[in-house]
Structure 1
Amino acid sequence: MANEDVLVMGPATLYIGAFGATEPADSAYASVPASGSWTDLGFTMDGCELSIEQDYKELVADQSVDKMGARLQERSFKVKVSLAEPSLDNLLVVLNDGTVASGAGFHTYTPAFVTSATQPTYRALIIDGWASGGGRARLIIRKVLSTDNVKLKYSKEDQTVYEVEFEGFYVDESTAPWKMITQDPS
Structure 2
Amino acid sequence: MARGKPEAIALGPGSLFIGVLATPEPMDLVTPWESVSPNWTGLGYTDEGSTLNYTVDSENVEVAEELDPIAVALVSREVTLDFALAQITATNLRVALNGGTITAGAGIVTFEPPDLGEELRVMLGWQSEDGTERWVFRKGLQVGNMEISRGKGASKATIGCSFKLERPSGAKLFKAMLAAPVRL
Q: TM-score scaled to structure 2, two decimals?
A: 0.89
Alignment match, 2:16: 14
Aligned with 2:138 (options 142, 149, 159): 142
- Number of the residue aligned with 2:127: 128
- The secondary structure found in structure 1 opposite 2:33 is coil
Deviation at 1:135, TM superposition (A): 5.7
Change (3 A) 1:95 1:6: same
Paired AA for residue 128 in structure 2: G
Give the Cα separation in 2 of the matches to 1:30 and 1:51: 26
Q: Is the 8 A contact 2:59 2:75 kept in 1?
A: yes
Aligned length: 177
The letter for the 1-side match of 2:165 is G
Compared CA separation, residues 135 and 69, structure 1 to 2 (3 A): farther
Alpha carbons of 1:144 and 1:94: their partners in 2 closer, same or farther (altered >3 Å)? same
Residues 135 and 184, structure 1, Cα contact 8 Å, conserved in 2: no
1:135 touches 1:185 (CA, 8 Å); kept in 2? no
The aligned residue for residue 175 of structure 1 is 171
Q: Deviation of residue 184 (structure 1)?
A: 0.9
CA distance in 2, matches of 1:21, 1:6: 29
Q: Is it true that 1:162 corresponds to 2:159 in the alignment?
A: yes
Extract unaligned runs of 5+ from structure 1. none
- Residues 129-177 of structure 1, C-alpha deviation per residue, up to 9 Å, x if partnerless? 26xxx761111111111111101122113111111111111113x3111
Which residue is equivalent to 2:29?
A: 29
User: Cα deviations across residues 13-39 of structure 1 (Å, max 9, x unaligned)?
Assistant: 0000011111111xx223321351200
Unmatched segments (≥5 aa) in structure 2: none
Q: Is the contact made by 1:19 and 1:123 (CA closer than 8 Å) also made in structure 2? A: yes
CA distance in 1, matches of 2:107, 2:119: 31
Match of 2:104 among 83, 102, 122: 102
Q: In structure 2, what is the Cα distance between the partners aligned to 1:94 and 1:179?
A: 23
2:6 pairs, out of 4, 7, 21, with 4
Q: Deviations over 1:76-128 (max 9, x none)?
A: 1111101111111110111011111111111111112x24xx25210000011
Partner amino acid for 1:150? M
Code of the aligned partner of 1:162? I
TM-score by length of 1: 0.88
8 Å CA contact 1:14–1:126 kept in 2: the answer is yes
Shift in Å at residue 3 of structure 1?
4.9
**Quick one: distance in 2 between partners of 1:5 and 1:135?**
12
Is the contact between residue 30 and residue 136 of structure 1 (CA under 8 Å) also seen in structure 2? no
| Equivalent pair of 2:29/2:131 in contact (CA under 8 Å) | no
> Does the Cα contact within 8 Å between 2:20 and 2:122 map onto a contact in 1?
yes
